[in-house]
Amino acid sequence: MGQFNLIAQHPKPQKPVLGVLCISNRGEAQFFSGKGEAGSTVLAEMDRVRIEHASSNGMMISGVERIGNKYRLQEWWLVYA
């Protein structure tokens, strides 16, 4: 998949980060630094991924982040780089 600028919207807006998105068949998303090559770090993770909106310049996905025994809502805006 192509490179994106990840802009976290929820729980707290953050500055854009350039990287690569990977979504598994189990509905888990990981956002890797750089081009996703070996040695890349995982910058963000999300479970129960749902695509909220997709357009020609990017997409909005939502899901949850596991924190111990609790879950917290996450929303990511991904803009094609």
**CA contacts within 13 A on the Cβ side of 20:** 12
Cα–Cα distance for residue pair 75/11, rounded to 1 Å? 7
> Which pLDDT band holds residue 47 (cuts at 50, 70, 90)?
very high
Tokens of 29: 């998303």
**Number of neighbours of residue 38 by Cβ within 10 angstroms:** 4
Q: Where are the domains of the chain?
A: 3-80
User: What's this model's pTM, rounded to 2 decimal places?
Assistant: 0.85
Reported as a single tens digit per residue, the pLDDT across 13-41 is 888 999 999 999 999 999 999 888 888 99
Q: What local confidence, expressed as pLDDT, does residue 1 receive?
A: 59
Q: What value does the mean pLDDT take over residues 48-76?
A: 94
Judged by average pLDDT, the poorest of 7-11, 18-22, 23-27, 63-67 is 7-11
Q: What value does the mean pLDDT take over residues 34-58?
A: 91
Cα–Cα distance for residue pair 78/55, rounded to 1 Å? 10
